[in-house]
Amino acid sequence: EPEVTQTPSHQVTQMGQEVILRCVPISNHLYFYWYRQILGQKVEFLVSFYNNEISEKSEIFDDQFSVERPDGSNFTLKIRSTKLEDSAMYFCASSESRDTATDTQYFGPGTRLTVL
Amino acid sequence: AQSVTQLDSHVSVSEGTPVLLRCNYSSSYSPSLFWYVQHPNKGLQLLLKYTSAATLVKGINGFEAEFKKSETSFHLTKPSAHMSDAAEYFCVVSDPLFGNEKLTFGTGTRLTIIP
């Protein structure tokens, strides 16, 4: 069964450093998402992406964050200058369409980001 | 705004006994509701979803959930727990009024199965 993959599974970085989290969505999917879960808190929506542009973003997704589909398979989340509070599990998801009523978002296993 | 409340952060049941994981939602329109499960070191997997059709929804692995609009609830049940059901369960809502692709998660319920 096709699945969403994410690398690395765990990333440790120093505060102020840039990090790139990578995701390979399911191959025929057109919509891509990033969510995050700070330890002990809810999974929160960050951003959705379609046709090479952001279609929706949350208030969390500020100028420090960016997303990109650099080639036909990868979908990346970049954090320009990491802060301690960026430490979280980051989940990538993909779907064929944007309508959750008719379609399903498939999630990857997550990347645990630790900012020291 | 849309939101979900999972009433129990941790539930323990004995193997072979029923499972009940509780969820209440808040939504301004006709929501879609989901239960996702996360096993250790795995992605979030969709168990089942409600999208304004039948109010009793059957999912994978013997789970089902009933949408009760009057109670704004979407509780997850299973008649007989299995050891493999031990995982974290998330109740999730999406609302067309707030952008249909955005999922809003509850805080999760950790299910422990006692042998």
Task: Judge: A100–B32 Cβ closer than 8 Å, yes or no.
Answer: yes
Chain A residues with CB-CB distance to B106 below 8 A: 42
Dist CA A81 CA A104 (whole Å): 32
Decide if pLDDT at A110 tops 90.
Answer: yes
- The secondary element (H helix, E strand) that includes residue A19 is strand A19-24
pLDDT band at A112 (very low <50, low <70, confident <90, very high): very high
Query: What does DSSP assign to residue B40?
Result: T
- The secondary element (H helix, E strand) that includes residue A50 is strand A43-50
Dist CA B28 CA A88 (whole Å): 30
pLDDT tens-digit readout, A25-77: 999 899 999 999 998 888 999 999 999 999 999 999 999 999 999 887 899 99
Percent of chain A at pLDDT > 90 equals 77
Beta strands in B1-115 (DSSP E): 3-6, 10-14, 19-21, 23-26, 32-38, 44-50, 56-58, 64-68, 73-78, 87-94, 104-105, 109-114
> How far off is chain B from A59, nearest CA to CA, in Å?
13
Task: Judge: A108–B32 Cβ closer than 8 Å, yes or no.
Answer: no
Chain A residues with CB-CB distance to B49 below 8 A: 100, 104
Chain A residues with CB-CB distance to B105 below 8 A: 35, 42-44
Instruction: Write out chain B's pLDDT in tens, 115 residues.
Output: 788 999 999 999 999 999 999 999 998 777 889 999 998 877 789 999 998 778 899 999 999 999 998 999 999 999 999 999 999 999 999 876 666 678 899 999 999 999 9
Decide if pLDDT at A103 tops 90.
Answer: no
Using CB atoms, pick whichever of A3, A100, A109 lies closest to residue B101.
A100
Residues 6+ apart with CB under 8 A from B100: A98, A99, A100, A101, B32, B94
